[in-house]
A = this chain, B = another copy of it.
Amino acid sequence: MSESYDFSIEELGKRNIKSPIVMSTVEGDLIANYVTDNQLVRLDTDAKPGAQSPLKKIQLMESAGPREMIYFTPAHVHAGIVSCGGLCPGVNDVIRAIVRCLWFRYGVKRISGIRYGYKGFLPEYQYGIRTLDPDKVDNIHKLGGTYLGSARGGGKEVGKIVDAIEQLNLNMLFTIGGDGTQHGTLDIAEEVDKRRLKIALVGIPKTVDNDFSIIDRSFGFNTAVDKAVEVVAAAHMEASSAIHGIGLVKVMGRESGFIAAHTALASHEVNFVLIPEVTFNLEGSNAFLPYLQKRLKERKHAVIIVAEGALQDKLVTEKKYDEGGNLKMADVGIYLRDRIIKYFGEKNIDINLKYIDPSYIIRSAPANPGDSIYCERLGNAAVHAAMAGKTKLIIGLVNNKFVHLPIKAVITERNRVDPEGDLWRDTLDATHQPALMANNFE
Contact A87 B266 (CB under 8 A): no
Task: Classify chain A: how many residues form its interface, as a range.
Answer: 35 or more
- Report the Cα distance A144→B104, complex, angstroms: 26
Contact B238 A151 (CB under 8 A): no
By a CB distance below 8 angstroms, the chain B residues around A243 are 116, 119, 127, 149, 151
Q: Interface code A312-356, partner B: CB below 8 Å = 1, 0 otherwise? A: 000000000000000000000000000000000000000010101
Contact A266 B420 (CB under 8 A): no
Contact B40 A242 (CB under 8 A): no
Contact B266 A425 (CB under 8 A): no
Contact A361 B150 (CB under 8 A): no
Contact B360 A234 (CB under 8 A): yes
Contact A238 B364 (CB under 8 A): yes
Tell me, rounded to whole Å, the shortest Cβ–Cβ distance linking A108 to chain B.
14
Contact B370 A360 (CB under 8 A): no
Contact A31 B368 (CB under 8 A): no
Tell me, rounded to whole Å, the shortest Cβ–Cβ distance linking A164 to chain B.
17
Contact B424 A364 (CB under 8 A): no
- Report the Cα distance A389→B188, complex, angstroms: 57
Is A53 engaged at the interface, CB distance under 8 Å to the other chain? Answer: yes
By a CB distance below 8 angstroms, the chain B residues around A75 are none
Tell me, rounded to whole Å, the shortest Cβ–Cβ distance linking A423 to chain B.
9
Contact A422 B436 (CB under 8 A): no
Contact B237 A435 (CB under 8 A): no
Contact of A370 among B54, B141, B225 (CB under 8 A): B225
Tell me, rounded to whole Å, the shortest Cβ–Cβ distance linking A428 to chain B.
7
By a CB distance below 8 angstroms, the chain B residues around A425 are 23, 32, 65-66
The quantity of this chain's copies bound in the complex is: 4
Q: Known contacts A216-B400, A354-B360, A425-B23; is A420 also within 8 Å of B144 by CB?
A: no
Which of A205-213, A286-294, A373-381 contacts its partner?
A373-381
- Report the Cα distance A402→B265, complex, angstroms: 15
- Which residues of A240-278 are within 8 A (CB) of B? 240-243, 247, 262-263, 265-268, 278
- Report the Cα distance A147→B369, complex, angstroms: 24
Tell me, rounded to whole Å, the shortest Cβ–Cβ distance linking A150 to chain B.
5
Is A372 engaged at the interface, CB distance under 8 Å to the other chain? Answer: yes
Q: Interface code A399-421, partner B: CB below 8 Å = 1, 0 otherwise? A: 11110000000000000000111
Is A180 engaged at the interface, CB distance under 8 Å to the other chain? Answer: no
Is A235 engaged at the interface, CB distance under 8 Å to the other chain? Answer: yes
Contact B31 A87 (CB under 8 A): no
Contact A49 B40 (CB under 8 A): yes
Tell me, rounded to whole Å, the shortest Cβ–Cβ distance linking A388 to chain B.
15
Contact of A436 among B31, B50, B399, B401 (CB under 8 A): B31
By a CB distance below 8 angstroms, the chain B residues around A421 are 32
By a CB distance below 8 angstroms, the chain B residues around A364 are 233-235, 237-238, 241
Task: Kindly list 7 other residue pairs between chains A and B, CB separation below 8 angstroms, not including A54-B55, A55-B55, A87-B241.
Answer: A29-B420, A35-B422, A216-B400, A226-B368, A230-B361, A356-B360, A377-B422
Q: List 19 A-B contacts (CB under 8 A).
A: A23-B425, A30-B420, A32-B422, A42-B44, A45-B398, A53-B55, A143-B237, A144-B237, A149-B243, A226-B368, A226-B370, A234-B360, A235-B364, A241-B364, A247-B360, A268-B372, A357-B357, A358-B361, A380-B429
